[in-house]
Chain A
């Protein structure tokens, strides 16, 4: 598998859609549409038996009618029976990568498996990187490439996605769009006949546009080799894995207690721990872990402080931290004394730091700064952002607005919440410590000035503090794994 094949797949100078269609419901139309509509600025061509014009692109009847060395990726929507000849013609034009979306291969019985083997052998002989078949497509934001038969095209960012299920690519991309934490590359591996999830992840591990790998794995074959490869990948960059289904391991000898305890999932879980892979429990956990790796500094230790404007949230978050591998650190005396200077005496005076409504205009940025600046604190979870803007929203919508001083106070609240979010990001960057902001307003009111400003700062606004704690725990486990192994 050559590097140039991956370069052609992810950063092609030109793309050919083979089997373009004028029917907007067909994959051959959708693929061309998505490439043209998402801002790809390389050369785009299309083939169609009738040579029709589609979306302003004059298609040609055959690959042979195209100029040579202008295109290096072919996006294949033609029926399986046509694809061997198609690949040969593509090779003659200098095309080095094919994304095959066509079905009728390994997923389609014995005949399909034979056709797939033939396709793989030919691609190998021609030196063409074969992605798919039966996959949904490929995304590459550095090239503004959206060569896929599904939506969405995500914002640009640093998460590299490889999935054994095309729909999980869409799920992750939807979450990228919702959080604003973007994607570098994304690929649906389809049947992964020639290029496997591990192959894509190896490319991401050396890809300067990618900071973290995010993979959905299903059936595992040759687990041992997979372990060795994933371990090498995770040594270079954080790798988040969501796993569906069981391994293909069959029944084990009943004579051994160890064998019956070593159930598939426990083995996979241990493999992840040993390889330094972040194993996620569900799709949200997986995306948010990856998004957090892509946007927050790594904690140097587990010592976590909760800063909250209201008591109950802090208590529940403290519970979540206590149940995790993070540490709800006792507030150091000098830090308590420093915060005493900023707040009336009713504040909690311990961790969680509950400001108890004693805050004034500058208190939140000042307390975040004091806590993050303390040598005995490794990370902060910040709660309560957006409360005042939520009240502002009610005021703005009510019949008294803008009179009675409402216009002024609404603007003040929104300005303050935006400022708090910006301060959290700035202090985190400056101190090199993660500060994670959580509020349900992230989903309840996306336009609230608080969550909106968190998104603008290119960080995740977690919908619950439990999710923030879970993401932070992933960061800590990863950091600890590396430290213990001298990395």
Chain B
């Protein structure tokens, strides 16, 4: 089992209609600073590579960088943290998205039931919250709608603390994209979109991190 790089993971999901951030992959800290200037501050900087999963746990993510200098410094630091096991690495620059509400969405293969699509409440806290809905892929749109509707924490889906309701149609699109990916490609073992942040401006879910695991 190997993981695709974050950039490759996101490319595959974006092609299936999963909303992704405007983000750039670059090789040097200086290029990262330039990219950040063009995207607009603040940004997130991550070290990514085919062999790197779970960047947060390894401290390979820098949040809320507000200037080109800050990006440059963080870039140098992250590149220095790469280990030989990581293989070729790059820097990923993305806009910093803040949202009160986080979800997790993904796809996996169950030994008994085969490919499944999952939606859960809570981003990094999802495993503790354990409010999840699973369906067997491929799903129909009505199944995606019911996954959202049948989450226990419905209050997070309505207007919340001054933010608009979650855009359910866009969230359905994410689930349909995950279903299409795991159903159409036997090599895909699992997909994590974690977190899926609800944008405070329009309620659309945005995959801030993506991880595709493939057999091989």
Contacts and interface: CB of A to CB of B under 8 A. Distances in A.
B192 A222 contact: no
B114 interface: yes
Contacts of B130: 261
A222 B111 CA distance: 9
Nearest to A224: B114
A271 B113 contact: yes
Contact of B118 (A220, A250, A262): A262
B1 interface: yes
A32 B120 CA distance: 54
A473 to B, nearest CB: 13
Interface in B98-134: 104, 106-108, 110-114, 116, 118, 120, 126-127, 130, 132-134
A364 B31 CA distance: 79
24 contacts: A223-B110, A223-B112, A224-B114, A247-B112, A247-B113, A249-B111, A255-B53, A255-B54, A255-B190, A255-B213, A256-B189, A256-B190, A256-B213, A258-B106, A261-B118, A266-B133, A267-B113, A267-B134, A268-B113, A270-B116, A270-B134, A270-B136, A271-B113, A274-B136
A252 interface: yes
B8 to A, nearest CB: 16
Interface in A216-232: 220-224, 227
Given A256-B106, A258-B106, A258-B108, A266 B190 contact: no
B143 interface: yes
B77 interface: no
A257 B142 CA distance: 25
Contacts of A348: none
A224 B136 contact: yes
Interface residues of B, number: 37
B136 A258 contact: no
Contacts of B53: 255
Given A258-B106, A261-B120, A266 B132 contact: yes
A332 interface: no
B90 interface: no
Contacts of B28: none
A171 B87 CA distance: 61
A266 to B, nearest CB: 5
A486 B171 CA distance: 23
The 10 tightest CB contacts between A and B, nearest first, are A258-B106, A223-B112, A270-B134, A256-B190, A249-B111, A223-B113, A258-B108, A259-B108, A224-B114, A247-B112
B134 A253 contact: no
A444 B190 CA distance: 53
